[in-house]
Amino acid sequence: MVVLTSNLVAAAPSGASRKKHPGKAVLAGGFAGGLEILCTFPTEYVKTQLQLDSRAATPRYTGIGDCISKTFKTHGMGGFYRGLSSLLYGSIPKASVRFMGYEALRNRMVDKDGKLTQTKTVLCGLGAGVSEAILVVCPMETIKVKFIHDQNQANPKYRGFLHGVREIVKQEGIRGTYQGLTATILKQGSNQAIRFFTFNNLKAYFQDGDNTKDIGVVKTFLCGGIAGAASVFGNTPLDVVKTRMQGLDRHLYKNTFHCAQMVLKHDGPKGFYKGTVPRLGRVVFDVAFVFTIYEQTMKVLDYVWKTD
If we measure between CA atoms, which residue out of 139, 149, 145, 148 comes closest to residue 169?
Answer: 139
At residue 13, the pLDDT reads 39
**With contact defined as beta carbons under 8 Å apart, do 158 and 150 qualify?**
yes
Q: What is the CA radius of gyration of the chain?
A: 20
At residue 130, the pLDDT reads 97
What residues contact 257, with CB distance under 8 A and at least 6 apart?
none
If we measure between CA atoms, which residue out of 66, 49, 58 comes closest to residue 151?
Answer: 49
- List per-residue pLDDT tens for the chain, 308 residues long: 444 444 444 443 344 456 889 999 999 999 999 888 878 788 878 888 887 787 677 888 988 999 999 999 988 988 888 877 766 778 899 999 999 999 999 999 998 888 899 999 999 999 999 999 999 988 887 877 787 777 677 788 887 777 878 888 888 888 888 887 888 898 899 999 999 999 999 999 999 988 888 999 999 999 999 999 999 988 888 878 877 887 777 788 888 889 999 989 988 988 888 778 877 877 898 899 999 999 999 999 999 988 76
- Residues in the chain, overall count: 308
